[in-house]
Amino acid sequence: MSVSQSERAYLEIRDLIVRVDLAPGDVIREDELQEQLGIGRTPIREALQRLARDQFVTVIPRRGMLVSGVDVTELSMLYETRTILEPYATRLACARGRREHWELMAEALKGARKENVSNDELMRIDRTCHEIVWNASGNRFLTDTLDMLYAQSDRLWHLYLSDVSDMRHAVEEHSEIHEALVAGDADRAANLAEAHMRAFDDEISQAVLKRLGARVE
């Protein structure tokens, strides 16, 4: 499926922010983004407006745009929202998903069994598994919301966990979710999805507290 220039700009700029190539507090320069991404001014501006709505970018009057900081006091709100929506999407996916969805998920999970697989690769597999479930749910409004929330969580992972976390356990949890989806067990699949979210929330929260504690000391 072809992607509009505005959508491409949104995804590529968001990826720069998520991967901390554009760090919290960095000034957004439209001309540099145009040159770096090879995309025109109008799609870049449309993308930045959307990123501001999604709270990745902050508009400062008379100063322009900055990459939004991470308010650690809002972490619980981010994860309580995902903890409600991800299991719901998983229930819908169990009812509406097709065999090809679960075949794609199984294929993605094979990548986690490679030797010397990196954390970045495992994180991509984690995202792919989530995307397949969202797709199978058949609800584009839910998918759009979960996509934005996942990107915010992904950003936190790059800020606080990418250099210390082992993502293998998270991908193993997707294997269990996959088994439940293939079996058509909506209750088990939803419960596993909720446990997956709670485990990631706990890991992020502990990493943030540890980092903040180190700064205080």
State the CATH number of the domain containing residue 60: 1.10.10.10
Report the b/e string of 124-160 with b at 16+ CB within 10 A: ebbbbbbbbbbbbbebeebbebbbbbbbbbbbbbbbb
State the CATH number of the domain containing residue 208: 1.20.120.530
The whole domain housing 95 covers 72-216
Domain end (from 34, 49, 67): 67
Per-residue pLDDT tens digits of the chain, which is 217 residues long:
567 999 999 999 999 999 999 999 999 999 999 999 999 999 999 999 999 999 999 998 877 899 998 877 778 888 899 999 999 999 999 999 999 999 999 999 998 888 888 888 988 999 999 999 999 999 999 999 999 999 999 998 888 876 656 778 888 999 999 999 999 999 999 999 999 999 888 888 887 777 666 553 4
Same domain, 33 and 16: yes
Question: Tokens for 209?
Answer: 């507290």
